[in-house]
């Protein structure tokens, strides 16, 4: 339903985009390009997407904020405490 030649960006979740349909749309020219930092097959994305000439990829760093790292550390510490208290 997108305008022919549109650029698609996805930095939310890998499963939002049907990767097969995206590749078809890129190859046919329906989608002019894509910018992706999330994939269905993480941590090893599909080679066809990584190597496609009309796809730009970047690392997904959404969890790299100070708040996210602090929360992850607290969750890990809590899990370890629970494990050793059993």
Q: Fill in the DSSP letter of residue 30.
A: S
**Cα–Cα distance between 75 and 86 in angstroms, integer?**
17
Question: Which of 24, 42, 71, 75 is the catalytic position?
Answer: 42
Catalytic residue chosen out of the listed positions 13, 24, 71, 75: 13
Task: Specify whether 52 is catalytic.
Answer: no
The one catalytic residue in 19, 24, 52, 60 is: 60
The strand pairing partners of 57, in sequence order, are: 36
60 is a catalytic site residue: yes
User: If you search the block for the tokens 């510490």, which residue do you land on?
Assistant: 77
Q: How many CB atoms lie within 10 A of CB 73?
A: 10
Active site residue 13: yes
Active site residues: 13, 42, 60
């Amino acid at each position: 339903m997108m305008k022919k030649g549109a650029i698609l960006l996805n930095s939310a979740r890998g499963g939002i985009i049907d990767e097969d349909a995206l590749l078809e749309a890129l190859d046919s020219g329906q989608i002019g390009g894509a910018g992706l930092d999330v994939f269905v097959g993480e941590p090893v994305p599909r080679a066809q997407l990584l190597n496609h000439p009309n796809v730009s990829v970047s690392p997904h760093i959404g969890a790299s904020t100070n708040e996210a790292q602090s929360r992850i550390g607290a969750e890990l510490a809590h899990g370890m405490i629970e494990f050793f208290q059993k």
